[in-house]
Amino acid sequence: MATPAATDKTIRIARFFSYPKQVLYLVASFIALVSLCHFISVIYRYATRKTTYSGQRTSASISRLPLAVIDSIKALTMRWTIHIGSSYTFNFAELFVVIGYMGVLFSWTFVNTTTLEGQLVEPHYYANRAGTIAASQLPIMTALGMKNNLISALTGIGFDKLNFLHRMAARTFVVLAWIHGGGRLTVGLLDDETINHHWVQCGFLAASTLTVLCILTVRPLRERNYELFIVIHHVLALLFSLAILIHLTGRTLTYYGAWPSLVVWGVDRLLSAGKLVIFNFGYFNPWSTSSSDLDARVEVLSHHFLKVTLRRSKLFYWRPGQSAYLAFPTVSALPSESHPFTMSTIYNSSGDSNQLTFFLRVRKGFTARLLKAASKDQTYKVFVNGPYSSPPILLGYQSIMLFAGGSGVAFTLPLFLSVISRAKRGESTCSRLTFVWAIRDADQIKWIEDVLLSAIDGLPNSISVAIKLYVTAVLGDSEAFAEDDPSREDLEDEKAPSTPSSQYGSKLLESPITSLDQGRPDVNALIQSEINADTGPISINACGTRSLAEAVRQAIRVPRPLDVMRGGPTVSLHIEPFGV
C-alpha cells in the first residue's frame, strides 16, 4: 500500500505538469475571445460602411438592446479611470485584466496545496509549481513587449498599449520566481541542486536580473533618462533570457516556455531588420546615386516643436494615425537609438513616393539634440521603421469628432485628412466631422494651415465640417489642454495671446467652417451637442494631455441605454497615448 508521502508526491507531480498548461490555455482563450470581438467589430464596421443615418429618436425598440448593452459596457469599463499618483491611470477594463491575470496565476499556484495529512500551503506543492507557471508565461510576456507581435495583430490593440501589460506580466513573473526560489530553499535542495550548481545559480541570476529590470521600469525612473533605460533594458533582458534558458534546459518547460519566447523575440528582430532595409534601401545600396532623396528636412516651429519631413517609396504603406520609428545617425547618441512619432500625412497611392510629416515635441535627450542641430539649409540622414500602432477604423460612422492638444494634432490631423479624402471620393457615410485643436498660441495654426485649406477646398455637400481652434496659453495654467509637458520651466516664457482672430490675417480663419476662441474647449458641451443631434454611431478620438483625455472620458462615461434603444447614437472612443 502506498504511503501518504508517496501519494502526495504522485499528486504533486501530476499537478506540476497539468496546472501550467491549464493557465496557458486559459490565458490563450482570453486572448482568443478579445481577438474574436475585434474581428467581429472590424467586420461590422466594413459591413455598415455604406449605411446612411437619418431620422428621429422614436420609442424604445427591443431590437436595439444589444447595441445599448455594448455601448453601456464600454462606458462603464473603458471610460471610468483610477489614478495612482501622478504617473498611472487605469480604466476599469485594464484593471480587470491585470487583476484577473494575476489572480489566475496566483490561484493556480496555491490552490490544492494541502497534503493528505492536512498540512496547509505545503511548500513541496507550490514551490516547483510557481516556477513552472511562471515559465509557461514567458512567450506571452515576451510577445506583449514586441513591436511586431501576433497578439497586437489579433486583438487590434497597439504595441504601445500592450507594453503596459508586458510590464505587469514581468512583475508577476518576478513574484512567482521568488516564490519558487524561496519554496525550494524552504524544503531543501536535492543533491544535484546545491547552491553552487550552475543550474541553480542561473535560476537566481534570472530572478535577480528581472527584478532589477522591473524596478527600473517604474515610470519616474524610466522617464528620468529613457535612452539610458533602453540600453540597460536590452542588456538585462538578454542576460535574463540566457540565464532562464540554462535554468530550464533539460526540462519540458524549455520547449513551451524558454524557446518559444526566444523565437518570438527573434521574429520581432527579424521583421524590424527587414523593414529597416526595405524602407531605407537607398542607404544600403552601394550603387545608389539618389540616397540623399531619403534624407529628412527639420524645421524649427518654435522652441518646443519641430517639423520633420521626408519621403519614402509606395512600398511604405501606413494607415492614418499610425506611427513610425525614426533614427538620425548623425544626431542620435547611440547607433541603435530610435524613437516613435506619429505620421501626420496620409498614404498616397497615386504618386511614385509618399511624403511623411512628423511633429516632434521637444523634450530632453534626442529631440533636444535635434533642435540644437537643426539647420534650415541642411538635410539629415534618417532611417524609418514601421508602421506601428493600431489607430481606429473610421468607417460606418455618422459623426466623427477629433480632439487634440498641442502636438497631439499629429494623430488627429491624418484622421481628418483621411475622412475628407474618402468623402470627396464618395466612399464615406460620415455627415459631420468636427476637428478641435487646443494650442498655446494662434501662430501655431500656421503649422497645418496649408494642409487644412487644401483639404477643405471643394468639400462635397455630403459632409459638414467644423474646425474649432482654442488658444489656451495663460501664465500659470499648468493643466491647459495644449500643454504637452506641464512644468514651470515651460511656462516661464508663455504669454497670453494678444492678437484677435479678426486681425490674424489667416485664410483658414476666414473660412466659415473655422472658429478661433480663447480658453479651453468645453469638451462636454461639444460632445453632448453632437450626441443630441445624431442618431447614427459616433466616433470620438483624442490625443493630448491627461486633462484633455480625462475631460473626453467624463463626457461619455455615463451609460445611455434608453437613449440608444430609442434610436440615439452609440459612441466609440479612442484615446491615443500622448507622445507617440
User: pLDDT tens for residues 304-344?
Assistant: 899 999 999 889 999 999 999 999 998 987 777 899 999 99
Name the pLDDT band for 579 (thresholds 50, 70, 90).
Answer: very low
Helix (H) or strand (E) holding 470: strand 464-471
Residues with Cβ within 8 Å of residue 320, at least 6 apart in sequence? 346, 347, 391, 394, 414, 415, 417, 418
Mean pLDDT of the chain, nearest integer: 87
Per-residue confidence (pLDDT) for residue 482, from 0 to 100: 64
Residues with Cβ within 8 Å of residue 557, at least 6 apart in sequence? 75, 76, 79, 80
Per-residue confidence (pLDDT) for residue 352, from 0 to 100: 75
537-558 in b/e burial notation, b at 16+ Cβ within 10 A?
A: bbbbbbbbbbbbbbbbbebbbe
- In whole angstroms, give the CA distance from residue 190 to residue 430: 69
Which domains are delineated in the chain? 4-48+86-188+250-275 (no CATH), 51-79+392-474+507-579 (3.40.50.80), 291-388 (2.40.30.10)
- Give the amino acid at 254: T
Per-residue confidence (pLDDT) for residue 496, from 0 to 100: 43
The set of cell numbers assigned to 212 is 532589477
pTM of the model: 0.90
Per-residue confidence (pLDDT) for residue 73, from 0 to 100: 95
Query: In a 3-state reduction of DSSP, which class is residue 578?
Result: coil
Per-residue confidence (pLDDT) for residue 238, from 0 to 100: 92
What sign for the dihedral angle of Cα 454, 458, 462, 466?
Answer: positive
- Give the amino acid at 289: T
Q: Which of 358, 274, 271, 370 shows the shortest CA–CA distance to 322?
A: 358
Round to the nearest angstrom and report the end-to-end CA distance of the chain.
Answer: 66
Which residue has 539647420 as its cell numbers? 375
Least confident of 290-304, 458-472, 509-523: 290-304
Per-residue confidence (pLDDT) for residue 365, from 0 to 100: 84
User: pLDDT tens for residues 400-413?
Assistant: 999 999 889 999 99
**pLDDT for residue 475 is more than 90:** no
pLDDT-above-70 percentage for the chain:
90
Per-residue confidence (pLDDT) for residue 474, from 0 to 100: 56
Q: What is the DSSP string of 526-538?
A: HHHHHHHH-SS-E
**pLDDT for residue 192 is more than 60:** no
- Give the amino acid at 137: Q
Name the pLDDT band for 443 (thresholds 50, 70, 90).
Answer: confident
User: pLDDT tens for residues 537-556?
Assistant: 999 999 998 899 999 999 99
389-425 in b/e burial notation, b at 16+ Cβ within 10 A?
A: bbbbbbbbbbbbbbbbbbbbbbbbbbbbbbbbbbbbe
Q: What is the mean pLDDT of residues 162-183?
A: 93
Name the pLDDT band for 15 (thresholds 50, 70, 90).
Answer: confident
Per-residue confidence (pLDDT) for residue 336, from 0 to 100: 77
User: pLDDT tens for residues 19-41?
Assistant: 999 999 999 999 999 999 999 99
User: pLDDT tens for residues 411-427?
Assistant: 999 999 999 999 999 88
Q: What is the mean pLDDT of residues 202-207?
A: 93
